[in-house]
Amino acid sequence: MQGADLDGFTHTGLPVRVVFGAGVFEHLPREVAQLGVQRVLLLCTPGQRSTAARAAALLGASCVEIFEGAVMHVPIESARTATTAARAARADGLLALGGGSTTGLAKAIALETGLPIIAVPTTYAGSEMTPIYGLTEAGVKRTGRDLRVLPKTVLYDPQLSLELPARTSATSGMNAIAHAVEGLYAQDTNPVVALLAEAGIRALAQHLPAVIERPRDLSARSQCLYGAWLCGIVLGSVGMSLHHKLCHTLGGSCNLPHAETHSIVLPHAAAYNAGAAPLAMERVARALGVTEAPRGLFELAQRLGAPLALQRIGMRAEDLERAVDLATQAPYFNPRAVQRADIRNLLDDAFFGRAPRSY
Ligand code: NAD
């Protein structure tokens, strides 16, 4: 379908209250009260301690504890420790303040306890708009979908992203764009998702360069956060394909950083699927303002100063074959058949940082 035709489709809107705008962080007490939450467990990473302290000050007595142990890919041990902390503090709600790692930790607790989540995202990862959770045990990351982990309320305050470093902003923005690109050729895509995806890519592609040049440009930050929100809805609404499968595999098996991996692999995955998803690629290209989507994605990453080669973010050449094995083992939907030799070419290009080829 690739998102454009009206031959018949299904769309389920997910029930999340979104409060968007510079300064909405100050509305936290009102939003917590509106959910009927009286005992908040506040989650963050050590790096976001000072923003967490501001949130705790705003919440006063209703913030019963701060847990600052959020870690990338939600190791099961940290999920268990945080769940124990939530129970010990008799928390009746979770506040996830940070990027996808912190939201992921809140989701892991919610999965066990059913506690409602209020998310205040500070990156462009989009996890706050999805019912998808991930947990890593013994080096293997498993994911699942459960509406219990979907945040009830999300506060998008671009002021909180002013300190997000340029490199993280670039890769996190490319991560968001990846959700939209795959949403456009998803098996269950639909016209609403296509609109959101195209608008999300456009907002990020147009305004990420300004964020890289002027990280404290609030207007550019607002546009990027808006784009990230739209891309997050896409991720939460439809299934993902080859690109997300590859990044999941590389993240789990080679322990590569999440957003960087997405940023590097995306142009190559788009190139792989371009011939099988022409309408989706037309929309991506239009949103990027270019004629050819895969090359446009590669050039955007280049312009943003994002890493272009997996070998530069910690992947070893000897891991390539195993990554190909893992990515081609279990069947999953992709607009084009997943062929081993071509996946090897794709990963080689991404490994060395070459421009995407035509398949
Ligand atoms: P992250 O949450 O790990 O954050 C990266 C680093 O940036 C952290 O050290 C954090 O403290 C710091 N940081 C975050 N916001 C900041 C800010 N505004 N200013 C300064 N520093 C800031 O990275 P991420 O890319 O947001 O999330 C990645 C994780 O999210 C992965 O584990 C991924 O699997 C998961 N994820 C899940 C979903 C889903 O739907 N379940 C979607 C996207 C990502």
Coil/strand/helix, residue 117: strand
**In a domain? residue 6:** no
Range of the domain at 95: 17-161
Residues 241 and 255 in one domain: yes
Atom of ligand 1 minimally distant from the CA of 74: 32
Compute the CA torsion angle 202, 207, 208, 209 (nearest 10 deg). 120
Number of domains comprising the chain: 2
* Local confidence band at 1 (pLDDT 50, 70, 90 cut-offs): low
**In a domain? residue 2:** no
CB-based contacts of 334, cutoff 8 Å, min separation 6: 241, 242, 245, 273
Picking from 161, 177, 203, the residue at the C-terminal end of a domain is 161
pTM score over 0.75: yes
Per residue in 78-118, pLDDT (tens digit) is 999 999 999 999 999 999 999 999 999 999 999 999 999 99
**In a domain? residue 359:** no
CATH code for the domain in which residue 155 is found: 3.40.50.1970
Picking from 111, 140, 161, the residue at the C-terminal end of a domain is 161
How far is the centre of ligand 1, averaged over its atoms, from the C-alpha of 70 (Å)?
A: 10
Instruction: Give, for 136, the enclosing helix (H) or strand (E).
Output: strand 132-137
User: Which candidate, 277, 250, 256, 229, places its Cα nearest to that of 343?
Assistant: 250
Picking from 130, 161, 192, the residue at the C-terminal end of a domain is 161
Residues 67 and 115 in one domain: yes
Residues 150 and 174 in one domain: no
**In a domain? residue 358:** no
**In a domain? residue 171:** yes
How far is the centre of ligand 1, averaged over its atoms, from the C-alpha of 99 (Å)?
A: 3
**In a domain? residue 5:** no
CB-based contacts of 325, cutoff 8 Å, min separation 6: none
Pocket residues: Cβ below 6 A from ligand 1: 45, 47-48, 72-73, 98-102, 104, 122-123, 125-127, 130, 132-134, 160-161, 163-164, 168, 172, 175, 235, 258-259
> Max Cα separation, the chain?
59
| φ, ψ at 306 (rounded to 5°) | -75, 155
**In a domain? residue 226:** yes
Cross-strand pairs, 315 = none
Distance CA 180, CA 234 (A): 6
Per residue in 27-45, pLDDT (tens digit) is 999 999 999 999 999 999 9
How far is the centre of ligand 1, averaged over its atoms, from the C-alpha of 284 (Å)?
A: 24
